[in-house]
A and B are shown apart, each in its own frame.
Chain A
Amino acid sequence: MKSFTVLEGRVAPMDRANVDTDMIIPKQFLKSIKRSGFGPNLFDEMRYLDEGQPGRDNSQRPLNPDFPLNHARYRGASILLARENFGCGSSREHAPWALEDYGFRCIIAPSFADIFYNNCFKNGILPVVLPAEQVEQLFAALYAEEGYQLKVDLERQQVQTPTGETLRFEVDTARKHCLLQGLDDIGVTLESAGAIRDFEQRWRQSSPWLFDVIGREQR
Chain B
Amino acid sequence: MAGLTLYDKLWRNHLVEQRDDGSALIYIDRHLIHEVTSPQAFEGLRLAGRRPWRLDANLAVPDHNVPTSAAERAGGVAGIVDEISRLQVQTLDDNCLAFDITEIPINDLRQGIVHVVGPEQGATLPGMTVVCGDSHTSTHGALGALAHGIGTSEVEHVLATQCLVQQKMKNMLVRVDGKLQPGVTAKDVALAIIGQIGTAGGTGYAIEFGGDVVRAMSMEGRMTLCNMSIEAGARMGMIAVDATTLDYVRGRTYSPRGELWEEAVAAWSDLHSDADAQFDKVVTLQGEAIQPQVTWGTSPEMVLPVDGVLPDPAQIENPSRREGARRALEYMGLQPGTAITDIHLDRVFIGSCTNSRIEDLRAAAAVVQGKRVAPTIKQALVVPGSGQVKAMAEAEGLDRIFLDAGMEWREPGCSMCLAMNADKLGAGEHCASTSNRNFEGRQGIGGRTHLVSPAMAAAAAIAGHFVDVRSLQETDA
Contacts and interface: CB of A to CB of B under 8 A. Distances in A.
**Are A and B co-members of a single complex?**
yes
Interface of A: 22, 27, 30-35, 54-55, 89-93, 97, 114-115, 118-119, 122-123, 172-174, 184-186, 189-190, 192-193, 195-196, 199-200, 203, 206-216, 218
A210 B260 CA distance: 10
Given A35-B40, A200-B27, A214 B84 contact: no
Interface in B8-35: 16-17, 19, 21, 23, 25, 27, 29
Contacts of A206: 267
B420 A31 contact: yes
B416 to A, nearest CB: 14
A186 B156 contact: yes
B174 interface: no
24 contacts: A31-B36, A32-B39, A33-B43, A33-B91, A89-B439, A91-B151, A173-B21, A186-B48, A189-B157, A189-B160, A189-B163, A189-B165, A190-B161, A192-B163, A193-B161, A196-B25, A200-B54, A200-B162, A208-B260, A209-B260, A212-B56, A214-B59, A215-B101, A218-B102
B56 A213 contact: yes
A214 B58 contact: yes
Nearest to A17: B320
A27 B420 contact: yes
Contacts of B149: 91
B267 A31 contact: no
B84 A31 contact: yes
Given A122-B151, A186-B48, A203-B27, A209 B264 contact: yes
A200 B161 CA distance: 11
Given A186-B48, A195-B16, A199-B27, A30 B260 contact: no
A122 B153 CA distance: 7
Contacts, number: 128
B151 A185 contact: no
B43 A185 contact: no
A93 B25 contact: no
Contacts of A92: 151
A88 B360 CA distance: 31
Given A33-B87, A122-B151, A209-B263, A199 B16 contact: yes
A196 B102 CA distance: 23
Contacts of A186: 48, 50, 156-157, 160-161
Question: Top 10 A-B pairs ranked by shortest CB distance?
Answer: A33-B39, A209-B256, A35-B40, A122-B153, A31-B84, A174-B21, A93-B152, A215-B102, A189-B161, A199-B16
A199 B14 CA distance: 8
Given A214-B123, A215-B55, 7 more contacts: A186-B157, A189-B25, A189-B160, A189-B161, A199-B16, A209-B125, A210-B29
B135 A91 contact: yes
B248 interface: no
A115 B267 contact: no
Nearest to A189: B161
Contacts of A185: 153, 157, 165
Interface string B163-183: 101000000000000000000
B435 interface: no
Contacts of A196: 16, 25, 27, 53, 161-163
A90 to B, nearest CB: 7
Interface in B106-163: 123, 125, 127-128, 135, 149, 151-153, 156-157, 160-163
Nearest to B16: A199
Nearest to B123: A214
A135 B37 CA distance: 34
Contacts of A189: 25, 157, 160-161, 163, 165
B61 to A, nearest CB: 12
A86 B71 CA distance: 43
B57 interface: yes
B160 A190 contact: yes
Nearest to A177: B21
B121 to A, nearest CB: 9
Contacts of A172: 21
A218 B99 CA distance: 14
B418 interface: yes
B331 interface: no
A119 B254 contact: no
B184 to A, nearest CB: 30
B162 A33 contact: no
A218 B102 CA distance: 9
Contacts of A195: 16-17, 25
Contact of A192 (B16, B65, B102, B254): B16
A198 B16 CA distance: 9
A1 to B, nearest CB: 9
Most B CB within 10 A of own CB, among A54, A118, A186:
A186
A35 B27 contact: no
